[in-house]
Structure formats: structure tokens, C-alpha cells
């Protein structure tokens, strides 16, 4: 079977290489590609997607899988066979023409979304959204599902999870979070958020954000940091990781915490086993687990008091005009303010999951045929009022704020909230085995935490499904309790709650 497996894995690596080329083309379109290159880029990405689909659905892959299943003993080989089978069964149900059309449409749609958001003009984006929803419905129907169409799309990002399971988790989470937000709104103590809305020169932000990324462990020898309309992490596994962020000179948080967030993603990528590059054994298991790494570094580390006890003097020196007279207590309270807001990526830890629940409910309705694209703004505003008690003043701060739907990423949003829950459970487990963890964070020692994450999560690639991984690392299945305990313990003292 060795020769068969070697032929099989060589083909799998080629598929992975093609995927990495598409990722880099997409990264370039979001960072450096001139506007005039749009249609050419759409053709390029469409061709790569077509070639990838052709390789992924090759009858030879099916033959090799039949010969290898149940006959490989190495854990990495077992992972590769299992995950390639999963991808093969899914891909062979999709016509090549649909794959080409979807890839081309998303390139054009993302560009249209960027312009529509800049103009706050949902009507200009609506036809693109309608086309994408139609295409993703077709994908779901062809792939098949157990319960509802949305399951077929969700499974692409969080393997094994269904819409009904997500709904159960979100329903359990929504009530306690909403109640806690109300308690905070009525609290006697209020942080001064204006501290973060002073003048923070872009050059200083760039320098300081990179300094933090390096300090927590992102390797710039195998990565880079650039600017895009919407922050993201992409690249070629552990050897080439691309981060992006955005800078606002009148707002401190988006760049610094955005970079910590994306660096968390990047360090997961850099921690994947290089010997399995371009194969499932060397890839992240799910977007929920991926998000747990970004949220852990951004929030559990980056918004902790211990982190800023060690770093705030340097921060104040970099932004002396804005923060020179601001005490640590006031700064820490400001970066942890809890207040309903319009923009998801700038939302606080408590209300963030409510933003995700809103998006999950809307896109589930879109894919299920219960909501049409043209009606999204009205549905969005109504749910925003229901969930967060506020109404966006325009589409740019409402239903046009995220890039995901323009990229066809339906089923992606729930992984953000799942990632928050995974992060809380992982951080709780890390503290149990590293009782001095918070002291290390205060001292600027992040190596031990990163090593723990790499040993327990990163190095496994796709060996364990998300639920299995959480059980192995924490000793219990996914639970909302660690996250609720974390936010109550952290935010109650900040707001003078008992």
C-alpha cells in the first residue's frame, strides 16, 4: 500500500498547491491589485478553481481512496484519507461549470461590495447578493444535507456541526448574555471610551501593532502584515502567512486588537506541521477552532489587565499625545467597554456573540428561502433593534459592513461565536496546567502559552474533528459556561457589579 499512498498523497499535495495559489491571488486582489485588474483576476481565479475542482474530482482519487480506506495505520495518513474522502464526496456532486461560475462571481461581487459599502448603497450590491444566494442554494442542494440546506454550507467550515446544533448553543447563550448586557447598561460605573478616540498617528500604530504581533509570537520571517478594507489572515500554511489590518487615526482599537486577532490566526497557521504542508494533516481543523486562536490572543490575552500592566508604559510612550495623562485603570476600562455598537469587528466581548447570532439567523433564512436578498436591510435593522437595542443609521454600518456574503461565505459566521466558546474553554484548561499564566502575561512571556497551544491544538492539523479536539484538550464537550464565567468574572468588577 506504500506505493499507492505515495501516489495518492502526491496528487493531494498538488491540489493543496493549487489552493494556495488561489489564496495568494485572492490576497493580492484585496491588497495590491490595481482596480483595473479586476476582470483579469476573476478569470485567473476562475481557472485555478476549475483546475482544483478537476483534480479533486478525478476518478483516480476515488480509486486510491477505495484502495486505502481502512488499510493505513499512520495517524497522518488516516487523517489525509478521511478528509480527502470527505472533500471528494462533496466535490464530485458539484458540476465544474458551477464551481467556475461561483469563483468568478465572488471576485466581481467583492469589488461591488467594497464600492457599495463606501457609498452605503445596498441597492447596488443587492443583485450580486441575490446571485450568490442562488448559487449557494444550488451548492447546498447538490451536496445534500440531513436537516436543512444551511447544514451543507456550515459543514464546510465547522465539520460535523448542524444548524440545529448551532441554534441550540446560541439559544442557551443569548438569554444570559442579553441579561448581562442589561445589567452593565444599568451599572453605576462607566468607562470613558473617548480615551480611545483621540489622535493616534498611523505610523505609530503600524510600529506598535507589529511590535505586539512579534512579542506574542508571530514569525515575520514566515509572514507579513499589510492593509485591506477588511482584516483577514491568508497564505500558504506555516511557511507564508499573510495578515492584514486597517488603521484609523481617530480610533486606537481597530489596528492594535485587529492585528492581535489576525496574528492569533497566523500563529495557528505557523504552528501547523510543515512536514504535512498542502495536505489535510497540515491544515486547520475548522474555522471555529481557528477563531478560538484569534479570539484567545485578542481578548483573553490582549484585553487582560496583566497584558497592559507589562506593555502600557511602552504604549503610552508611543502615543504620548493621546495617552500621556491616561492612567492604566482608565485605559484598561476603556478597551473593555461594553456597549451595543453597530460594527461587529469593533464590538466588545460581551455583545460580540449577539452580532453573530443576528447574522446566523439572517443567512440561515436566506439560504432556506425564507428571506430574499432585497429584504436584507429591513431584516437586519429589525434584528439589530431586537438583539442589541440599536438601529444602524445606514447600510455601511448595517448589512454592508462584512465582506463574507460577497465572497459567498455562507455558513462562516457561526464559527466566530463558536470560536469564542472554544477559546474560553481552552484558556480555562491552560490556566489549570499553568497556574502562573497570568503572571507570565504580565511579564511579557507568551512563549509558554503559545507552546501549550501548539502542543495541544496546532500540531494535530485535521486529525481530530472540532468536538473531539475540545474533549481531548479540556476534558469535556463544548460548553457555554466557561465563556459566561469569564465575562462575568472580568466585567463585573469593571462596572461595579456584584
Active-site residue numbers? Answer: 262
* Nearest one of 52, 51, 46 to 29, comparing CA atoms: 46
- Cβ–Cβ < 8 Å for 322, 205: no
Give the helix/strand (H/E) hosting 205.
Answer: helix 202-216
Calpha distance 258→268 (Å, rounded): 16
As a three-state string, the secondary structure of 338-349 is CCCCCCHHHCCH
Displacement of CA 102 from its chain's centroid (Å):
21
Contact 85, 65 (CB under 8 A): yes
Q: b/e map of 123-136 (b: 16 or more CB within 10 Å)? A: ebbbebbebbbebb
Set of cell numbers at residue 268: 495557528
d(CA 202, CA 246): 10
Euclidean distance between CA atoms 180 and 435, whole angstroms: 28
β partners of residue 241: 223, 235
Count H helices and E strands in the chain, helices first.
21, 3
Helices (H), ranges, 339-411: 349-367, 376-388
Strands 233-235 and 223-227: unpaired
Residue matched to cell numbers 452605503: 120
Distance CA 137, CA 50 (A): 20
Side by side, which strands form the sheet with 241-245?
A: 223-227, 241-245, 233-235
Q: What span, in angstroms and rounded, lies between the C-alpha atoms of 35 and 29?
A: 9
Cell of 48: 485555478
Amino acid at each position: 500500500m506504500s506505493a499507492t499512498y505515495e501516489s495518492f498523497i502526491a496528487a493531494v499535495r498538488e491540489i493543496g498547491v493549487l489552493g494556495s495559489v488561489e489564496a495568494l491571488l485572492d490576497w493580492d486582489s484585496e491588497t495590491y491589485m490595481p482596480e483595473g485588474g479586476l476582470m483579469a483576476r476573476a478569470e485567473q481565479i476562475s481557472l485555478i478553481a476549475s483546475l482544483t475542482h478537476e483534480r479533486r474530482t478525478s476518478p483516480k482519487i476515488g480509486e486510491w481512496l477505495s484502495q486505502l480506506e481502512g488499510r493505513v495505520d499512520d495517524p497522518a495518513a488516516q487523517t489525509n484519507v478521511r478528509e480527502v474522502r470527505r472533500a471528494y464526496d462533496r466535490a464530485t456532486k458539484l458540476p465544474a461549470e458551477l464551481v467556475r461560475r461561483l469563483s468568478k462571481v465572488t471576485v466581481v461581487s467583492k469589488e461591488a461590495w467594497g464600492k457599495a459599502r463606501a457609498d452605503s448603497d445596498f441597492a447596488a450590491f443587492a443583485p450580486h447578493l441575490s446571485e450568490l444566494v442562488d448559487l449557494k442554494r444550488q451548492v447546498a442542494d447538490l451536496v445534500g444535507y440531513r436537516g436543512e440546506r444551511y447544514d451543507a454550507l456550515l459543514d464546510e467550515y465547522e465539520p460535523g456541526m448542524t444548524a440545529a446544533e448551532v441554534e441550540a448553543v446560541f439559544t442557551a447563550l443569548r438569554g444570559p448574555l442579553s441579561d448581562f448586557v442589561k445589567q452593565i447598561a444599568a451599572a453605576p460605573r462607566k468607562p470613558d471610551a473617548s480615551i480611545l478616540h483621540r489622535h493616534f498617528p498611523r505610523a505609530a500604530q503600524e510600529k506598535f501593532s507589529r511590535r505586539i504581533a512579534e512579542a506574542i509570537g508571530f514569525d515575520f520571517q514566515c509572514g507579513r502584515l499589510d492593509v485591506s478594507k477588511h482584516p483577514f489572515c491568508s497564505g500558504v500554511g506555516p511557511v507564508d502567512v499573510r495578515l492584514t489590518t486597517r488603521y484609523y487615526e481617530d480610533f486606537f482599537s481597530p489596528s492594535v486588537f485587529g492585528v492581535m486577532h489576525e496574528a492569533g490566526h497566523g500563529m495557528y497557521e505557523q504552528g501547523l506541521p510543515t512536514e504535512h504542508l498542502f495536505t489535510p494533516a497540515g491544515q486547520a481543523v475548522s474555522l471555529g477552532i481557528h477563531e478560538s486562536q484569534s479570539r484567545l490572543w485578542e481578548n483573553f490575552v490582549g484585553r487582560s489587565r496583566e497584558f497592559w500592566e507589562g506593555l502600557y508604559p511602552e504604549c503610552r510612550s508611543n502615543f504620548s499625545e493621546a495617552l500621556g495623562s491616561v492612567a492604566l485603570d482608565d485605559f484598561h476600562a476603556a478597551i473593555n467597554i461594553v456597549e451595543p455598537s453597530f460594527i461587529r469587528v469593533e464590538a466588545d466581548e460581551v455583545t460580540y456573540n449577539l452580532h453573530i447570532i443576528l447574522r446566523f439567523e439572517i443567512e440561515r433564512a436566506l439560504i432556506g428561502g425564507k428571506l430574499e436578498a432585497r429584504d436584507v436591510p429591513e431584516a437586519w435593522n429589525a434584528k439589530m433593534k431586537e438583539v442589541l437595542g440599536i438601529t444602524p443609521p445606514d447600510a455601511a454600518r448595517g448589512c454592508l459592513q462584512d465582506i463574507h456574503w460577497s465572497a459567498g461565505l455562507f455558513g462562516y459566521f457561526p464559527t466566530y461565536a463558536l470560536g469564542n466558546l472554544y477559546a474560553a474553554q481552552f484558556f480555562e484548561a491552560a490556566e489549570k496546567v499553568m497556574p502562573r499564566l497570568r503572571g507570565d502575561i504580565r511579564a511579557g512571556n507568551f512563549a509558554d502559552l503559545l507552546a501549550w497551544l501548539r502542543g495541544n491544538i496546532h500540531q494535530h492539523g485535521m486529525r481530530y474533528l472540532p468536538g473531539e479536539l475540545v474533549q481531548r484538550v479540556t476534558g469535556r464537550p463544548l460548553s457555554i459556561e466557561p465563556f459566561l464565567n469569564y465575562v462575568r468574572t472580568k466585567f463585573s468588577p469593571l462596572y461595579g457589579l456584584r
